[in-house]
Structure 1
Amino acid sequence: MSKVLVLNASYEPLNITSWRRAVVLIIKGKAERIEHNGKLVYADLPLPTVIRLRHYVRVPYKEIPLTRRNLLHRDAHTCQYCGYAGDGLTLDHVLPRSRGGGDTWENMVAACVRCNVKKGNRTPKEANMPLQSPPRRPYSSLYFEVSRQVRSGIHQEWRKYVIGT
């Protein structure tokens, strides 16, 4: 039916859960409803879209793997040079590997084949092809799922709880 964003006691996003699990946490007093969509689960219980845990939960940091899929998702499947959003995107090194550029979040972007070939073995500045947005490491593994939900227009209320969406 609906997904619910779970926030730590510090308002930091923890995960996404089902509406049923969220309602159970609220009824047990382990969480409080922060946002709802107006639909009712029971007569006096609106369907939550964002809940906050009442007690802080320590979560170990989890590194997000640098994969083609994750890079394309970070860049919204859009060429970072011309804005083309379609099939056949490639990955481009901002500082070419032949010049010492490595495989890092900050040095790789999605690019269409045309822009990748046009840029060649140059930096964006040398090729006079500015990036639409600077490449950066995603904030958290939860970032991917939350950004997908926000971009699809389903959960716009999540935007204020997540950095960079």
Structure 2
Amino acid sequence: MISSPDTPTDARILRLNLAGQPIEWLHWKEAVCLHARELVCWSLGGIVRKVYGGRSRLSGLRTAIELPAIIACGGSRMAQVRMVPPLTNAALFARDDYQCLYCGKYFTAAGLSRDHVLPTSRGGKDRWVNVVAACRRCNQHKGNHLLSEIDMELIALPYRPNTAEYLALINNKRIRGDQMEFLRPQFSRHSRHKG
């Protein structure tokens, strides 16, 4: 199996279930396997990669599979949409656009930390709706206080991204225009990335 050299090796393919709900990002090799097992039911978007196989004994022609940017797959086990995306710092910082939600300044990931709006020491949970990106200075200043106890305010409310937004957040450096065009209308109404 040889892939075409003119396509980036890190391009990902968006996998959907039969209902058109986004499920996960696939490496091109995983997408080839789904095509070979005839599990791809429909597709959208431009071609991400062209993969060449062997030559036909009958015709002498080389086989090729063109992998589109978005594929919907069936099978005996229909893929389920993840209801609560995993909470990671990388996804959290991307959700908050690498902005400290206390002082409003922008930082690199190394300059941010996860802050619990309701501190864990006071019963707060490590959940999307209770965490925000905070610069180290603001996080340290807030400590385990409630916002009502100190002179600090949030500039935006925390929210849980839905699956479509989460997939865009975790792949934001390598997402194609056609993939984003498919995902963006499905983002949560609270999303800062909807526009």
Change (3 A) 1:72 1:153: closer
1:121-140 residue pairs with structure 2 within 5 A? 121-123=145-147, 127-132=151-156, 134-140=157-163
Structure 2 residue matching 1:34: 3-state secondary structure: strand
Matched with 1:15 is 24
SS of aligned partner of 1:147: helix
Name the TM-score, length of structure 2 as normaliser.
0.60
What SS does structure 2 have at the residue aligned with 1:16?
Answer: strand
Consecutive unaligned residues of structure 2, counting only runs of 5 or more, are 1-8, 53-62
RMSD: 3.6
Corresponding residue pairs, total: 158
| Structure 1: tracts of 5 or more residues without a match | none
- Superimposed CA distance per residue, residues 64-107 of structure 1 (whole angstroms, 9 cap, x where no aligned partner): 555xxx04422224422223213242332223456x45023212
Residue 148 (structure 1) aligns with: 170
1:152 CA displacement: 1.1
1:4/1:129 CA distance change after superposition, 3 Å: same
TM-superposed CA distance for 1:4, in Å, is: 1.0
One-letter identity of the residue aligned with 1:127: D
Distance 1:44 1:163 in 2: 35
Larger radius of gyration: 2
Question: Who is 1:33 aligned against?
Answer: 43
TM-score by length of 1: 0.68
What code does the residue aligned with 2:137 have? Answer: R
Quote the residue 1:53 is aligned against. 73
Compared CA separation, residues 130 and 41, structure 1 to 2 (3 A): same
**Counterpart check, 1:79 vs 2:103:** no
Matched, 1:112 2:135: yes
Runs of 4 or more off by more than 6 Å in structure 1? none
- Corresponding residue for residue 55 of structure 2: none
> What code does the residue aligned with 1:36 have?
G
**Counterpart-to-counterpart distance in 1, 2:26 and 2:120:** 41
Q: Distance in 2 between matches of 1:20 and 1:92?
A: 38
Tell me the secondary structure at the aligned position of residue 147 of structure 2.
coil
Percent of aligned pairs sharing the same letter? 27
**3-state DSSP of counterpart to 2:105:** coil
Q: How many Å separate the matches in 2 of 1:60 and 1:72?
A: 21
Q: Kindly provide the CA deviation profile for residues 22-72 of structure 1, in whole angstroms up to 9, marking residues without a partner as x.
A: 245346542122112476557986431111124570538575555xxx044
> Quick check: 2:50–2:64 contact (8 Å CA) kept in 1?
yes
